[in-house]
Structure 1
Amino acid sequence: MLSRRSLLAGLLAAAVAAPLATIAPGEAEAQSWGGPGPGPNRRPPPPRHERRPPPRRGYVWVPGHWEWRRGRYVWMSGRWVRARPGWHHRNSQWVWRNGRWVYVPGGWHR
């Protein structure tokens, strides 16, 4: 039988490791709206106007975007991310593909 301490340690380790797990690009699109089944069947709202904070040396501004969560669009605010020399950050976007809206996550590209 597991002790309370070992159970808590296991849960903490899983919580820390979960965001570090990698998903293949095709899987990311399939899971982009929060799980299996149909995704959004309506166009995402227009992007919100955000006031960009002052520039930060060594960082790149990633604008906010809409995500599909629990059957509705939710706004995710823009943020500064640490620059990666030799890489270009591509913003996330929604595209119409095969009769449905698909979220294509942004990320770093060479």
Structure 2
Amino acid sequence: MISRRSLLGGLLTAGIAAAAPIAASRQADAQIFIQPPPPPLRIERRPPPPRPGWVWVSGFWTWDPRRRAYVWVPGRWVAGRPGWRYRDGTWVRRGNTWVYRPGGWWR
């Protein structure tokens, strides 16, 4: 016959072993990754357009995950699209992180 003390010890050990993965997964889920906000936009010297009808696309900051830092992408001229307007990209805060909404052509 199993003694009461042995039975309680076995149940206690089994309970701790079963709860360990739950505690570990809750710790992993509790990690919060916060990407810092982008730096202020740079003031760029806009050279003359290469041809009439070209549109200036402003420079912007992009996140480089390998460097874990923002990197500046300089502005540039692009060929215009008749009847369309170009809207520059923008950074938007979503909760504890920042998301880049790329620019594009709009009617």
Please indicate the TM-score interval, normalised by the length of the shorter structure. 0.5 to 0.7
Is the aligned partner of 1:103 residue 2:97?
no
Q: Secondary structure at the match of 1:54?
A: coil
Structure 1 unaligned residues grouped into runs of 5+: 1-37
* 1:44 alignment partner, one of 35, 38, 41: 38
The percentage of aligned residue pairs carrying the same residue is 56
Residues 67/76 of structure 1: CA separation in 2 closer, same or farther (3 Å cut) = same
Q: Contact 1:40–1:68 (CA<8 Å) still a contact in 2? A: no
Higher Cα radius of gyration: 2
- Structure 2 CA distance for partners of 1:76 and 1:84, relative to 1, 3 Å: same
TM-score (norm 1): 0.61
Classify 1:40/1:68 alpha carbon distance in 2 versus 1 (closer, same or farther; 3 Å).
farther
RMSD, aligned α-carbons: 1.8
Give every structure 1 segment of 4 or more consecutive aligned residues whose post-TM-superposition deviation is greater than 3 Å.
Answer: none
Query: Structure 1 residues 45, 75: CA separation in 2 closer, same or farther (over 3 Å shift)?
Result: same
Contact 1:62 1:80 in 2 (8 A): yes
**Deviation of the 1:98 alpha carbon:** 2.8
The alpha carbon displacement at 1:103 in A equals 0.4
**Aligned equivalent of 1:26:** none
Please list every run of 5 or more consecutive structure 2 residues that lacks an aligned counterpart in the other structure.
1-31
- Structure with the bigger RCO (C-alpha within 8 Å, sep 6+) is 1
Match of 2:52 in 1: 57
| Pairing 1:14-33 to 2, within 5 Å after superposition | none
Q: How many residues align?
A: 73
The two structures have a TM-score, normalised by structure 2, of 0.62
Q: Please tell me whether the aligned partners of residues 91 and 105 of structure 1 are also in contact (alpha carbons under 8 angstroms).
A: yes
SS in 1 for 2:44: coil
Shift of 1:78: 0.2
How far 1:94 moved relative to its partner? Answer: 0.3
Alignment partner, residue 81 of structure 2: 84
State how far apart, in whole Å, the 1-side matches of 2:95 and 2:101 are: 14
